[in-house]
Amino acid sequence: MPVWFAKSRAISHHLNRKVGFMGILHHKFWTSSCSRHPSSLSSIVIPAGIHEDHPTPHVFPFNSSITTRFSLRRFKSTKAASQLEQLYSTDDDDHDTSQALDFPGGKVTYIPEMRFLSESNGKRVPCYRVLDDNGEIIRGSDYEQLSEEFAVKIYSNMVSLQMMDTVFYEAQRQGRISFYLTSTGEEAINIASAAALSTDDIILPQYREPGILLWRGFTIQEFANQCFGNKDDYGKGRQMPIHYGSKKHNFVTVSSPIATQLPQAVGIAYSLKMDKKDSCVVTYTGDGGTSEGDFHAALNFAAVTEAPVVFICRNNGWAISTHISEQFRSDGIVVRGRAYGIRSIRVDGNDALAVYSAIHAAREMAISMQRPVLVEALSYRAGHHSTSDDSTKYRPVDEIDYWKKERNPVNRFRKWVERNGWWSEEKESELRSSIKKQLLQVIQVAEKTEKPPLKYLFSDVYDIPPPNLCEQEKQLRETIYAHPQDYPSDVPL
Protein backbone atom coordinates (compact mmCIF):
# COMPACT_ATOMS: atom_id res chain seq x y z
CA MET A 1 0.00 0.00 0.00
CA PRO A 2 2.78 2.56 0.74
CA VAL A 3 4.16 1.96 -2.75
CA TRP A 4 0.72 2.51 -4.25
CA PHE A 5 0.16 5.71 -2.30
CA ALA A 6 3.54 7.09 -3.34
CA LYS A 7 2.94 6.19 -6.98
CA SER A 8 -0.66 7.31 -7.06
CA ARG A 9 0.33 10.73 -5.77
CA ALA A 10 2.78 11.14 -8.61
CA ILE A 11 0.26 9.80 -11.12
CA SER A 12 -2.50 12.08 -9.85
CA HIS A 13 -0.24 15.10 -9.95
CA HIS A 14 0.86 14.23 -13.51
CA LEU A 15 -2.73 13.75 -14.73
CA ASN A 16 -3.87 16.90 -12.98
CA ARG A 17 -1.16 18.86 -14.75
CA LYS A 18 -2.07 17.36 -18.11
CA VAL A 19 -5.84 17.15 -18.15
CA GLY A 20 -7.17 18.90 -15.07
CA PHE A 21 -9.01 17.40 -12.11
CA MET A 22 -12.41 17.30 -13.77
CA GLY A 23 -10.91 15.38 -16.66
CA ILE A 24 -9.99 12.65 -14.23
CA LEU A 25 -13.48 12.67 -12.74
CA HIS A 26 -15.25 12.74 -16.10
CA HIS A 27 -17.85 10.02 -16.43
CA LYS A 28 -16.36 8.74 -19.66
CA PHE A 29 -13.07 8.12 -17.90
CA TRP A 30 -14.64 5.85 -15.32
CA THR A 31 -16.68 4.10 -17.98
CA SER A 32 -13.55 3.42 -20.00
CA SER A 33 -11.85 2.00 -16.94
CA CYS A 34 -14.31 -0.87 -16.99
CA SER A 35 -13.71 -1.75 -20.62
CA ARG A 36 -13.50 -5.44 -21.43
CA HIS A 37 -11.08 -4.75 -24.28
CA PRO A 38 -7.71 -3.78 -22.77
CA SER A 39 -6.25 -2.89 -26.12
CA SER A 40 -8.88 -0.30 -26.96
CA LEU A 41 -8.36 3.42 -26.53
CA SER A 42 -10.90 5.73 -24.90
CA SER A 43 -10.80 9.39 -25.84
CA ILE A 44 -12.02 11.99 -23.43
CA VAL A 45 -12.82 15.56 -24.33
CA ILE A 46 -11.47 17.81 -21.63
CA PRO A 47 -13.49 21.06 -21.48
CA ALA A 48 -11.93 24.46 -21.83
CA GLY A 49 -11.34 26.47 -18.73
CA ILE A 50 -10.83 23.44 -16.50
CA HIS A 51 -7.09 23.91 -16.26
CA GLU A 52 -4.96 26.95 -16.87
CA ASP A 53 -2.51 25.00 -19.04
CA HIS A 54 -5.25 24.15 -21.56
CA PRO A 55 -7.44 27.10 -22.57
CA THR A 56 -9.08 25.16 -25.41
CA PRO A 57 -10.75 21.75 -25.53
CA HIS A 58 -8.57 18.81 -26.47
CA VAL A 59 -8.71 15.06 -26.57
CA PHE A 60 -6.63 12.97 -24.21
CA PRO A 61 -6.39 9.25 -24.94
CA PHE A 62 -6.44 6.67 -22.20
CA ASN A 63 -5.50 3.04 -22.56
CA SER A 64 -8.28 1.01 -20.96
CA SER A 65 -5.91 -1.50 -19.39
CA ILE A 66 -4.16 1.33 -17.59
CA THR A 67 -7.33 2.96 -16.33
CA THR A 68 -8.66 -0.40 -15.15
CA ARG A 69 -5.63 -0.80 -12.92
CA PHE A 70 -5.76 2.84 -11.93
CA SER A 71 -9.32 2.51 -10.64
CA LEU A 72 -8.59 -0.49 -8.41
CA ARG A 73 -9.97 0.18 -4.96
CA ARG A 74 -7.69 -2.07 -2.96
CA PHE A 75 -4.81 -4.44 -3.55
CA LYS A 76 -5.42 -7.94 -2.29
CA SER A 77 -1.78 -9.00 -2.49
CA THR A 78 1.75 -7.67 -2.86
CA LYS A 79 1.74 -9.20 -6.35
CA ALA A 80 -0.88 -6.70 -7.48
CA ALA A 81 1.09 -3.87 -5.91
CA SER A 82 4.21 -5.06 -7.69
CA GLN A 83 2.44 -5.13 -11.04
CA LEU A 84 1.20 -1.60 -10.56
CA GLU A 85 4.64 -0.41 -9.49
CA GLN A 86 6.13 -1.74 -12.73
CA LEU A 87 3.29 -0.27 -14.77
CA TYR A 88 3.77 3.21 -13.38
CA SER A 89 7.55 3.31 -13.12
CA THR A 90 8.79 6.73 -14.25
CA ASP A 91 12.06 7.82 -15.76
CA ASP A 92 13.14 9.68 -12.64
CA ASP A 93 12.88 6.53 -10.51
CA ASP A 94 16.44 5.44 -11.20
CA HIS A 95 16.96 3.75 -7.85
CA ASP A 96 17.54 0.03 -7.52
CA THR A 97 14.08 -1.54 -7.31
CA SER A 98 15.60 -4.84 -6.22
CA GLN A 99 16.35 -3.23 -2.87
CA ALA A 100 12.92 -3.09 -1.27
CA LEU A 101 11.14 -3.84 1.96
CA ASP A 102 8.41 -6.44 1.64
CA PHE A 103 5.99 -4.59 3.89
CA PRO A 104 2.28 -5.33 4.51
CA GLY A 105 0.34 -3.81 1.61
CA GLY A 106 3.18 -4.03 -0.92
CA LYS A 107 6.90 -3.56 -1.38
CA VAL A 108 8.45 -0.26 -0.34
CA THR A 109 11.49 0.66 -2.41
CA TYR A 110 14.57 2.00 -0.67
CA ILE A 111 16.27 5.18 -1.92
CA PRO A 112 19.65 6.66 -0.92
CA GLU A 113 18.38 10.26 -0.89
CA MET A 114 16.72 11.80 2.16
CA ARG A 115 13.39 13.16 0.85
CA PHE A 116 10.77 14.96 2.90
CA LEU A 117 7.33 15.32 1.44
CA SER A 118 6.46 18.95 0.81
CA GLU A 119 3.77 20.53 2.96
CA SER A 120 1.96 21.55 -0.23
CA ASN A 121 2.02 21.16 -3.99
CA GLY A 122 2.79 24.84 -4.48
CA LYS A 123 -0.44 25.62 -6.31
CA ARG A 124 -3.87 25.63 -4.74
CA VAL A 125 -6.37 23.03 -5.90
CA PRO A 126 -8.59 24.64 -8.56
CA CYS A 127 -12.30 25.13 -8.01
CA TYR A 128 -14.83 23.56 -10.39
CA ARG A 129 -17.28 26.14 -11.72
CA VAL A 130 -19.92 26.28 -14.47
CA LEU A 131 -21.69 29.66 -14.12
CA ASP A 132 -19.78 32.92 -13.92
CA ASP A 133 -20.95 35.75 -11.66
CA ASN A 134 -23.36 36.95 -14.36
CA GLY A 135 -25.05 33.58 -14.62
CA GLU A 136 -23.51 32.71 -17.97
CA ILE A 137 -22.14 29.27 -18.81
CA ILE A 138 -18.34 29.29 -18.89
CA ARG A 139 -17.18 28.15 -22.31
CA GLY A 140 -16.40 24.44 -22.44
CA SER A 141 -17.96 23.69 -19.06
CA ASP A 142 -18.60 20.07 -18.18
CA TYR A 143 -21.93 19.84 -16.38
CA GLU A 144 -25.21 17.93 -16.12
CA GLN A 145 -27.96 19.27 -18.36
CA LEU A 146 -31.17 20.39 -16.63
CA SER A 147 -34.67 20.48 -18.07
CA GLU A 148 -36.78 23.62 -17.75
CA GLU A 149 -39.08 22.04 -15.17
CA PHE A 150 -36.18 20.77 -13.05
CA ALA A 151 -34.25 24.03 -13.21
CA VAL A 152 -37.31 26.07 -12.22
CA LYS A 153 -37.94 23.70 -9.31
CA ILE A 154 -34.38 24.20 -8.09
CA TYR A 155 -34.70 27.97 -8.31
CA SER A 156 -38.13 28.02 -6.63
CA ASN A 157 -36.79 25.98 -3.73
CA MET A 158 -33.81 28.30 -3.37
CA VAL A 159 -36.17 31.27 -3.13
CA SER A 160 -38.39 29.42 -0.66
CA LEU A 161 -35.42 28.63 1.57
CA GLN A 162 -34.19 32.21 1.37
CA MET A 163 -37.57 33.63 2.34
CA MET A 164 -38.19 31.04 5.06
CA ASP A 165 -34.91 32.04 6.68
CA THR A 166 -35.82 35.73 6.54
CA VAL A 167 -39.27 35.31 8.10
CA PHE A 168 -38.25 32.80 10.78
CA TYR A 169 -35.25 34.93 11.72
CA GLU A 170 -37.57 37.91 12.20
CA ALA A 171 -39.94 35.73 14.25
CA GLN A 172 -37.07 34.97 16.63
CA ARG A 173 -36.22 38.64 16.90
CA GLN A 174 -39.85 39.25 17.85
CA GLY A 175 -39.54 36.71 20.66
CA ARG A 176 -41.91 34.21 19.07
CA ILE A 177 -39.30 31.42 18.86
CA SER A 178 -36.22 31.00 21.02
CA PHE A 179 -33.50 30.44 18.41
CA TYR A 180 -32.87 30.34 14.67
CA LEU A 181 -30.04 29.79 12.23
CA THR A 182 -30.10 30.70 8.54
CA SER A 183 -28.57 29.27 5.35
CA THR A 184 -28.16 32.71 3.79
CA GLY A 185 -25.51 32.59 1.08
CA GLU A 186 -25.50 28.79 1.02
CA GLU A 187 -28.82 28.15 -0.72
CA ALA A 188 -27.11 26.56 -3.74
CA ILE A 189 -25.30 23.99 -1.61
CA ASN A 190 -28.58 23.09 0.09
CA ILE A 191 -30.92 22.81 -2.85
CA ALA A 192 -28.59 21.79 -5.69
CA SER A 193 -27.02 18.98 -3.68
CA ALA A 194 -30.47 17.75 -2.64
CA ALA A 195 -31.59 17.78 -6.27
CA ALA A 196 -28.64 15.57 -7.26
CA LEU A 197 -29.55 12.85 -4.78
CA SER A 198 -32.14 10.10 -4.62
CA THR A 199 -34.77 10.11 -1.90
CA ASP A 200 -33.38 6.70 -0.90
CA ASP A 201 -30.06 8.29 0.01
CA ILE A 202 -29.75 8.82 3.75
CA ILE A 203 -28.86 12.32 4.95
CA LEU A 204 -26.91 13.11 8.11
CA PRO A 205 -26.87 16.94 8.27
CA GLN A 206 -25.01 19.36 10.43
CA TYR A 207 -27.53 22.14 11.08
CA ARG A 208 -27.41 24.43 8.04
CA GLU A 209 -29.11 22.07 5.58
CA PRO A 210 -32.90 22.57 5.85
CA GLY A 211 -32.98 22.88 2.05
CA ILE A 212 -32.51 19.11 1.70
CA LEU A 213 -35.72 18.55 3.66
CA LEU A 214 -37.50 21.30 1.74
CA TRP A 215 -36.55 19.65 -1.56
CA ARG A 216 -37.76 16.25 -0.34
CA GLY A 217 -41.22 17.53 0.52
CA PHE A 218 -40.99 18.61 4.15
CA THR A 219 -43.61 21.34 4.31
CA ILE A 220 -43.13 24.86 5.60
CA GLN A 221 -45.76 24.05 8.22
CA GLU A 222 -43.61 21.15 9.44
CA PHE A 223 -40.63 23.50 9.69
CA ALA A 224 -42.71 25.94 11.72
CA ASN A 225 -44.05 23.20 14.02
CA GLN A 226 -40.50 22.19 14.91
CA CYS A 227 -39.32 25.74 15.52
CA PHE A 228 -42.29 26.48 17.76
CA GLY A 229 -42.02 23.10 19.50
CA ASN A 230 -45.75 22.34 19.42
CA LYS A 231 -47.51 18.97 19.66
CA ASP A 232 -47.18 18.43 15.91
CA ASP A 233 -43.40 18.65 16.11
CA TYR A 234 -41.94 15.21 15.37
CA GLY A 235 -39.38 15.78 18.13
CA LYS A 236 -42.22 16.42 20.61
CA GLY A 237 -40.77 19.81 21.56
CA ARG A 238 -37.60 18.35 23.06
CA GLN A 239 -35.14 19.82 20.57
CA MET A 240 -33.95 23.37 19.95
CA PRO A 241 -35.44 25.13 16.92
CA ILE A 242 -33.90 24.15 13.53
CA HIS A 243 -33.04 20.64 14.83
CA TYR A 244 -35.18 19.02 12.18
CA GLY A 245 -35.54 15.32 11.48
CA SER A 246 -37.74 13.12 9.32
CA LYS A 247 -37.71 9.34 9.07
CA LYS A 248 -40.07 9.63 6.10
CA HIS A 249 -37.52 11.67 4.19
CA ASN A 250 -34.41 9.72 5.30
CA PHE A 251 -33.14 12.79 7.14
CA VAL A 252 -31.49 11.93 10.46
CA THR A 253 -32.33 14.47 13.17
CA VAL A 254 -29.91 17.37 13.56
CA SER A 255 -27.60 17.06 16.57
CA SER A 256 -25.89 20.09 18.09
CA PRO A 257 -22.47 18.54 18.89
CA ILE A 258 -20.17 19.32 15.96
CA ALA A 259 -19.09 16.53 13.58
CA THR A 260 -20.55 13.62 15.56
CA GLN A 261 -22.69 12.76 12.54
CA LEU A 262 -19.66 12.03 10.34
CA PRO A 263 -18.49 8.65 11.74
CA GLN A 264 -22.14 7.71 12.21
CA ALA A 265 -22.68 8.33 8.49
CA VAL A 266 -19.86 5.95 7.63
CA GLY A 267 -21.39 3.23 9.77
CA ILE A 268 -24.74 3.64 8.05
CA ALA A 269 -23.05 3.66 4.64
CA TYR A 270 -21.23 0.44 5.47
CA SER A 271 -24.55 -1.20 6.37
CA LEU A 272 -25.94 -0.14 2.97
CA LYS A 273 -22.91 -1.75 1.37
CA MET A 274 -23.42 -4.99 3.28
CA ASP A 275 -27.08 -5.04 2.24
CA LYS A 276 -26.09 -4.28 -1.37
CA LYS A 277 -28.40 -1.25 -1.52
CA ASP A 278 -28.43 0.98 -4.60
CA SER A 279 -28.07 4.12 -2.49
CA CYS A 280 -25.51 6.01 -0.44
CA VAL A 281 -25.17 8.18 2.63
CA VAL A 282 -24.54 11.92 2.33
CA THR A 283 -23.30 13.86 5.33
CA TYR A 284 -22.61 17.56 5.73
CA THR A 285 -20.29 19.60 7.89
CA GLY A 286 -18.80 23.07 7.98
CA ASP A 287 -15.14 24.00 7.84
CA GLY A 288 -15.16 24.22 11.64
CA GLY A 289 -16.31 20.61 11.83
CA THR A 290 -13.14 19.47 10.06
CA SER A 291 -11.14 20.59 13.10
CA GLU A 292 -12.88 17.94 15.16
CA GLY A 293 -11.35 14.51 15.63
CA ASP A 294 -14.56 12.91 14.37
CA PHE A 295 -13.89 14.30 10.89
CA HIS A 296 -10.55 12.56 10.62
CA ALA A 297 -11.83 9.35 12.18
CA ALA A 298 -14.74 9.33 9.73
CA LEU A 299 -12.57 9.80 6.63
CA ASN A 300 -10.18 7.05 7.66
CA PHE A 301 -13.07 4.76 8.63
CA ALA A 302 -14.76 5.38 5.27
CA ALA A 303 -11.58 4.82 3.26
CA VAL A 304 -10.70 1.55 4.99
CA THR A 305 -14.21 0.11 4.75
CA GLU A 306 -14.74 1.56 1.27
CA ALA A 307 -18.14 2.82 2.39
CA PRO A 308 -20.49 4.51 -0.12
CA VAL A 309 -20.61 7.87 1.62
CA VAL A 310 -20.31 11.41 0.25
CA PHE A 311 -18.82 13.97 2.62
CA ILE A 312 -19.89 17.52 1.76
CA CYS A 313 -17.99 20.27 3.53
CA ARG A 314 -19.43 23.77 3.37
CA ASN A 315 -16.27 25.84 3.63
CA ASN A 316 -17.81 29.24 4.27
CA GLY A 317 -14.72 30.84 5.73
CA TRP A 318 -15.86 31.09 9.34
CA ALA A 319 -16.47 28.70 12.24
CA ILE A 320 -18.63 31.17 14.14
CA SER A 321 -15.98 33.87 14.78
CA THR A 322 -12.93 31.72 13.96
CA HIS A 323 -11.53 32.40 10.49
CA ILE A 324 -10.21 29.48 8.47
CA SER A 325 -6.68 30.94 8.66
CA GLU A 326 -6.83 30.23 12.40
CA GLN A 327 -8.16 26.72 11.89
CA PHE A 328 -5.69 25.07 9.52
CA ARG A 329 -2.67 25.65 7.29
CA SER A 330 -3.64 23.20 4.55
CA ASP A 331 -5.17 24.21 1.24
CA GLY A 332 -8.69 24.09 2.58
CA ILE A 333 -10.45 20.77 3.03
CA VAL A 334 -10.17 19.12 -0.37
CA VAL A 335 -6.52 18.10 0.09
CA ARG A 336 -7.36 16.07 3.18
CA GLY A 337 -9.16 13.49 1.09
CA ARG A 338 -5.94 12.36 -0.57
CA ALA A 339 -4.26 11.94 2.80
CA TYR A 340 -6.84 9.30 3.66
CA GLY A 341 -7.06 7.77 0.19
CA ILE A 342 -10.37 9.40 -0.72
CA ARG A 343 -11.26 10.91 -4.08
CA SER A 344 -12.02 14.62 -3.69
CA ILE A 345 -13.12 17.73 -5.56
CA ARG A 346 -13.44 21.43 -4.82
CA VAL A 347 -16.53 23.18 -6.20
CA ASP A 348 -17.92 26.71 -6.26
CA GLY A 349 -20.63 26.45 -3.60
CA ASN A 350 -22.41 29.54 -4.94
CA ASP A 351 -22.86 27.96 -8.38
CA ALA A 352 -25.96 25.77 -8.33
CA LEU A 353 -25.12 24.09 -11.64
CA ALA A 354 -21.61 23.21 -10.49
CA VAL A 355 -22.84 21.89 -7.14
CA TYR A 356 -25.52 19.79 -8.80
CA SER A 357 -23.09 18.32 -11.33
CA ALA A 358 -20.37 17.60 -8.76
CA ILE A 359 -22.73 15.91 -6.28
CA HIS A 360 -24.38 13.97 -9.11
CA ALA A 361 -20.97 12.61 -10.13
CA ALA A 362 -19.89 12.00 -6.53
CA ARG A 363 -23.02 10.02 -5.78
CA GLU A 364 -22.54 7.90 -8.90
CA MET A 365 -18.95 7.12 -7.84
CA ALA A 366 -19.93 6.30 -4.27
CA ILE A 367 -22.57 3.79 -5.38
CA SER A 368 -21.08 2.25 -8.53
CA MET A 369 -17.54 2.01 -7.16
CA GLN A 370 -18.50 1.51 -3.49
CA ARG A 371 -16.12 4.12 -2.16
CA PRO A 372 -16.23 7.44 -0.26
CA VAL A 373 -15.97 10.84 -1.93
CA LEU A 374 -15.14 14.21 -0.38
CA VAL A 375 -16.62 17.44 -1.79
CA GLU A 376 -15.45 20.84 -0.58
CA ALA A 377 -17.94 23.57 -1.50
CA LEU A 378 -16.48 27.08 -1.27
CA SER A 379 -19.12 29.53 -0.15
CA TYR A 380 -19.70 32.29 2.39
CA ARG A 381 -21.96 32.50 5.40
CA ALA A 382 -23.68 35.75 4.45
CA GLY A 383 -25.79 35.80 7.60
CA HIS A 384 -24.82 35.70 11.27
CA HIS A 385 -23.85 32.31 12.63
CA SER A 386 -27.18 32.23 14.47
CA THR A 387 -29.52 34.55 16.32
CA SER A 388 -27.01 34.37 19.19
CA ASP A 389 -24.27 35.91 17.07
CA ASP A 390 -23.37 39.33 15.67
CA SER A 391 -20.86 38.66 12.90
CA THR A 392 -20.13 42.37 12.37
CA LYS A 393 -18.02 42.16 15.54
CA TYR A 394 -15.40 40.01 13.83
CA ARG A 395 -15.70 40.61 10.07
CA PRO A 396 -16.11 43.76 7.95
CA VAL A 397 -19.61 44.83 6.97
CA ASP A 398 -18.50 45.59 3.41
CA GLU A 399 -17.21 42.01 3.09
CA ILE A 400 -20.62 40.67 4.09
CA ASP A 401 -22.40 43.04 1.70
CA TYR A 402 -20.13 42.02 -1.16
CA TRP A 403 -21.02 38.36 -0.80
CA LYS A 404 -24.71 39.13 -0.34
CA LYS A 405 -24.92 41.23 -3.48
CA GLU A 406 -22.12 40.32 -5.89
CA ARG A 407 -21.85 36.60 -5.22
CA ASN A 408 -25.42 35.77 -4.26
CA PRO A 409 -26.11 32.17 -5.39
CA VAL A 410 -29.85 32.73 -5.78
CA ASN A 411 -29.38 35.75 -8.06
CA ARG A 412 -26.75 33.99 -10.12
CA PHE A 413 -28.93 30.98 -10.81
CA ARG A 414 -31.91 33.21 -11.56
CA LYS A 415 -29.92 34.98 -14.28
CA TRP A 416 -29.18 31.65 -15.92
CA VAL A 417 -32.81 30.50 -15.73
CA GLU A 418 -34.01 33.83 -17.14
CA ARG A 419 -31.43 33.70 -19.92
CA ASN A 420 -32.92 30.38 -21.00
CA GLY A 421 -36.38 32.00 -21.21
CA TRP A 422 -37.73 29.93 -18.30
CA TRP A 423 -38.37 32.76 -15.84
CA SER A 424 -39.69 36.31 -15.76
CA GLU A 425 -40.23 39.19 -13.38
CA GLU A 426 -43.93 38.36 -13.27
CA LYS A 427 -43.24 34.77 -12.17
CA GLU A 428 -40.76 36.06 -9.61
CA SER A 429 -43.33 38.39 -8.08
CA GLU A 430 -45.99 35.67 -7.96
CA LEU A 431 -43.62 33.17 -6.34
CA ARG A 432 -42.40 35.50 -3.62
CA SER A 433 -45.89 36.74 -2.84
CA SER A 434 -47.19 33.19 -2.52
CA ILE A 435 -44.34 32.04 -0.29
CA LYS A 436 -44.62 35.07 2.01
CA LYS A 437 -48.35 34.53 2.45
CA GLN A 438 -47.77 30.87 3.22
CA LEU A 439 -45.04 31.63 5.73
CA LEU A 440 -47.13 34.12 7.69
CA GLN A 441 -49.98 31.63 7.78
CA VAL A 442 -47.95 28.64 9.02
CA ILE A 443 -46.39 30.75 11.77
CA GLN A 444 -49.83 31.71 13.05
CA VAL A 445 -50.95 28.08 12.99
CA ALA A 446 -47.79 26.78 14.69
CA GLU A 447 -47.95 29.49 17.33
CA LYS A 448 -51.55 28.68 18.26
CA THR A 449 -51.09 24.90 18.28
CA GLU A 450 -50.96 23.31 21.72
CA LYS A 451 -47.62 22.35 23.24
CA PRO A 452 -46.67 18.68 23.80
CA PRO A 453 -47.77 17.13 27.12
CA LEU A 454 -45.33 17.23 30.03
CA LYS A 455 -44.97 13.43 29.99
CA TYR A 456 -42.94 13.62 26.78
CA LEU A 457 -40.03 15.03 28.78
CA PHE A 458 -39.57 11.56 30.24
CA SER A 459 -40.67 9.20 27.46
CA ASP A 460 -39.05 7.50 24.46
CA VAL A 461 -35.73 6.72 26.16
CA TYR A 462 -36.48 3.67 28.28
CA ASP A 463 -39.00 0.93 27.56
CA ILE A 464 -39.74 0.86 31.29
CA PRO A 465 -38.76 4.13 33.00
CA PRO A 466 -36.29 3.56 35.87
CA PRO A 467 -37.25 4.60 39.42
CA ASN A 468 -35.04 7.71 39.43
CA LEU A 469 -36.72 9.05 36.28
CA CYS A 470 -40.18 8.37 37.72
CA GLU A 471 -39.17 10.22 40.86
CA GLN A 472 -38.01 13.22 38.81
CA GLU A 473 -41.33 13.39 36.97
CA LYS A 474 -43.21 13.20 40.25
CA GLN A 475 -41.15 16.02 41.78
CA LEU A 476 -41.62 18.21 38.70
CA ARG A 477 -45.38 17.82 38.76
CA GLU A 478 -45.54 18.57 42.47
CA THR A 479 -43.45 21.72 41.95
CA ILE A 480 -45.66 22.92 39.08
CA TYR A 481 -48.83 22.40 41.13
CA ALA A 482 -47.28 24.29 44.04
CA HIS A 483 -46.06 27.21 41.88
CA PRO A 484 -48.27 27.36 38.76
CA GLN A 485 -47.48 31.02 38.13
CA ASP A 486 -43.83 30.16 37.38
CA TYR A 487 -44.57 27.70 34.58
CA PRO A 488 -46.09 28.12 31.09
CA SER A 489 -49.82 27.60 31.15
CA ASP A 490 -49.96 26.23 27.60
CA VAL A 491 -48.12 22.99 28.45
CA PRO A 492 -50.62 20.22 29.23
CA LEU A 493 -49.83 18.38 32.44
**Torsion 227-158-423-412 (CA) sign:** positive
Cα separation, 336 vs 329, whole angstroms = 11
What are the start-end ranges of the H helices in 185-260?
A: 187-195, 210-216, 220-228
30, 71 Cβ separation under 8 angstroms: yes
DSSP string for 112-127: SS--PPPSS-SSPPP-
- Kindly list the catalytic residues: 170, 256, 385-386
In single-letter form, the type of residue at position 197 comes to: L
**DSSP class of residue 177?**
S
| Backbone dihedral angles phi then psi of residue 105, each to the nearest 5 degrees | 105, -15
C-alpha distances (whole Å) from 329 to each of 142, 343, 348 are 31, 21, 20
| Backbone dihedral angles phi then psi of residue 424, each to the nearest 5 degrees | -150, 170
Q: Which of 202, 192, 481 is nearest to 357 (CA)?
A: 192
Q: Find how far residue 438's CA is from the centre of its chain.
A: 29
Q: Which of 213, 212, 214 is nearest to 160 (CA)?
A: 214
- Count of other CB atoms within 10 angstroms of residue 163: 18
65, 30 Cβ separation under 8 angstroms: no
Q: What region, left, alpha or beta, does residue 73 occupy, with left being phi > 0 and alpha being psi -120 to 50 degrees?
A: alpha
